[in-house]
Amino acid sequence: MSTLFISDLHLCAQRPDMTAALVRFLERDAPKADALYVLGDLFEFWIGDDDPNPLHRQVAEAFLALSRQDVPIYFIHGNRDFLLGKAFAKRAGMTLLGDPCVIDLYGERVLLSHGDLLCTLDLGYQKFRRITQQKWLRWLFLRLPLTRRQAIACKMRGQSQMENAGKSQTIMDVTPAAVDALLRQHGCRLMIHGHTHRPAVHDFMLDGKPARRIVLGDWFEQGSVLSCSPQGQRLESRPLSE
């Protein structure tokens, strides 16, 4: 009995090894789980559910095969795939969740998030995030020709890489005060998130009581999987290749 969590795979055609590792995980490990949660940035970028990219079809089919084995799959949007919509979710057998959201995990209230909303010191990114949350802007973007959306996405990725190269690691990490505030707001003492690519288990005190924040890792060099059971949590790394 366990529930699995992954995030930040950043799947793209240029890294077929990461896609292969995910497919193996979905075929071999995930069928034994009570549920699977994907906490954002499953893809390197997403320009719409109508994108005919063969990678998207391959990934959707792999998730759907898992769903048909009665394993519920839940997805929280990341900052790279925030436009992933209901059409793809249906093809993949996923249920879309809001960010943040609270789940009951073996009797414990657990707060889930992609994690980017906690990086409050990164003022430039937070401004960008507020803009991209605008429904009218998303509606407008998704109605542009596919080639135009591809060009915009490539340009934004390049700008993001340049901007992040000049930022300190502290600015791009979560703010402890933001973590505390979100946990208090939702009445939780355990938070699970990704985004920062810094896998770790952080134990701390919140209002005089123990609390925990678990950060999922990316899949660039190795897989990162959190397994939760009634007995506790285990954050594991997995090799990308067999």
Find out whether 197 is annotated in a ligand binding site.
yes
Find out whether 113 is annotated in a ligand binding site.
no
Label the pairing between strands 35-38 and 73-76: parallel
Find out whether 86 is annotated in a ligand binding site.
no
Find out whether 202 is annotated in a ligand binding site.
no
- Angle (CA) 160-162-83 rounded to 5° is 10
Helices 16-28, 54-67: crossing angle, 10 deg rounding: 10
Residues whose CB is less than 8 angstroms from the CB of residue 106 and which lie 6 or more positions away in sequence, other chains included: 1, 3, 228, 229, 230
Find out whether 234 is annotated in a ligand binding site.
no
d(CA 51, CA 9): 19
Find out whether 114 is annotated in a ligand binding site.
yes
Find out whether 56 is annotated in a ligand binding site.
no
Find out whether 195 is annotated in a ligand binding site.
yes
Radius of gyration of the chain (CA): 18
Find out whether 41 is annotated in a ligand binding site.
yes
Find out whether 79 is annotated in a ligand binding site.
yes
Find out whether 186 is annotated in a ligand binding site.
no
Find out whether 164 is annotated in a ligand binding site.
yes
- List, as residue ranges, the binding site for Mn(2+): 8, 10, 41, 79, 114, 195, 197
Binding residues: 8, 10, 41, 79-80, 114, 122, 160, 164, 167, 195, 197
Detail the residues annotated as belonging to a binding site for substrate. 79-80, 122, 160, 164, 167, 195
